[in-house]
Amino acid sequence: MADNQLSSTAPAASTTVSQPPIVRWFRVVAVAEAVTWVALLIGMAVKYVPDPNIDSGVRIPGMLHGAVFVLYLVITVLTALALRWNKGVTVLALLASIPPFGTIVFEVWASRTGRLVPSAGAASARAAAE
């Protein structure tokens, strides 16, 4: 009897909800976009602070950030379509790519308000958060 009670109180493996792959990609790329922003800011300091200027300080970080920036935009549109975001949320997610660390701020907000949850649970999570 005690063994049965222990096994019934443990969560079943099938009850855990896994994230869709697009949500995982969105989170990874959002963080990568912020990390490449940091690398670019460091590169800009290397380029402009020393005298004489070191122009190569932004070459690699700038290229990486540019590639990840474009990838973030593509992944954001794919995520918006998959999770059926409205236009306002989609535009906000896209605009989050402009200021440094905006993608992380948006990702945290979207997680807390249920916007990174597939459609069925998204409405109830959003209602509870608002």
Q: Which amino acid, one-letter code, is at 113?
A: T
Q: Mean per-residue pLDDT for 46-61?
A: 85
* Cα–Cα distance measured from residue 91 to residue 52, given in angstroms and rounded to the nearest whole number: 41
Residue 8: predicted pLDDT: 45
Better-scored residue on pLDDT, 55 or 44: 44
pTM: 0.75
Residue 130: predicted pLDDT: 54
In tens, the pLDDT along 54-111 reads: 878 889 999 999 999 999 999 999 999 999 999 999 999 999 999 989 999 999 999 9
| Residues 6 or more apart in contact with residue 28 via CB below 8 angstroms | none
